[in-house]
Amino acid sequence: MFTTSDFKKGLVIQLDGAPCIIVDVTFQSPSARGANTMVKTKYRNLITSQVLEKTFRSGDKVDEADYERHKGQFLYADGDKGIFMDLETYDQFEQDPEAFEATQPYLLEGTEVVLGLFEGRMVNVELPMTVELTVTETAPVIKNATATAETKDALLETGLKIKVPPYLETGNRVKVDTRDGRFISRA
């Protein structure tokens, strides 16, 4: 059991029978005497991926989810599904097509991830903050190009399209932020 004083970003709680990860939490003190502090949360349901908001009163209790994080690895894509392996138990899990569509542009075979398991089944894949990918297609290098202001389109080995500085060319490895699909640096 967690109380509202335990709430923080990244905490996994159980609401309506589903594991939910807290994305944002704010504590709001009332102006009236004797009133309870309100705890406003924004959370993401790990099964449906919906982002919802809920307000609790100070002291409310919520159940702890039967949620575990395990080191995992992306094995391969099976059509529109992703196949992952738990590196602790060597169990294999399938990620449904809708969720795999969002993670697939950042995954190469062998990429290490964190698997979120709820009651023994995989409900979430946490990608690393950055991944290194190879540029497979981009416009030719522009003479006297600098790293500021201008960008050009690049296609990466996983099919992800990003904006890169004009000095990069096909075959270069780049670091990409998995949160927003943004170029960070050369690898």
* Contact assessment for residue 35 and residue 57, using Cβ atoms and an 8 Å cutoff: no
Q: Exposed, middle or buried, 133 (CB in 10 Å: 0-12/13-18/19+)? A: buried
Given a cut of 60, whether residue 145 has pLDDT beyond it is: no
Tell how far CA 162 is from the center of its chain: 18
For the entire predicted model, the pTM comes to 0.79
What's the fold here for domain 2-64?
A: SH3 type barrels. (2.30.30)
Mean pLDDT of the chain: 89
Which pLDDT band holds residue 63 (cuts at 50, 70, 90)?
very high
> Higher confidence at residue 174 or residue 33?
174
How confident is residue 47, by pLDDT bands cut at 50, 70 and 90?
Answer: confident
* pLDDT tens-digit map of 89-135: 999 999 989 889 989 999 999 999 999 999 888 998 999 999 999 99
Confidence of residue 142 (pLDDT cuts 50, 70, 90): low
Average of per-residue pLDDT across 19-40: 85
Whether the per-residue pLDDT at 182 is higher than 80: the answer is yes
Please give the structure tokens belonging to residue 143.
């003479």
Smallest CA-to-CA distance from 137 within 119, 118, 111, 164 is with 164
Residue 144: predicted pLDDT: 65
Q: What is the mean pLDDT of residues 42-64?
A: 91
Better pLDDT: 165 or 74: 74
How far CA 84 is from CA of 108, 129, 142, 179, in Å, comes to 11, 18, 40, 20
3-state secondary structure 36-100: CCEEEEEEEECCCCCEEEEEEECCCEEEECCEEEEEEEEEEEECCEEEEEECCCCCEEEECHHHH
Helix (H, G, I), strand (E, B) or coil at 151: coil
Identical fold, 2-64 and 68-126: no
Q: What percent of the chain has pLDDT over 90?
A: 64
Q: What is the pLDDT of residue 150?
A: 81
Bridge partners (DSSP) of residue 83 are: 76, 94
Pair 151, 163: CB distance under 8 Å? yes
| Strand, coil or helix: 141 | coil
Cβ atoms 10, 22 nearer than 8 A: yes
- Kindly state which CATH superfamily the domain 130-186 is placed in: Nucleic acid-binding proteins (2.40.50.140)
Q: Name the CATH superfamily for 68-126.
A: Nucleic acid-binding proteins (2.40.50.140)
Q: Hey, where are the domains in the chain?
A: 2-64, 68-126, 130-186
pLDDT tops 60 at residue 147: no
Q: What is the pLDDT of residue 140?
A: 83
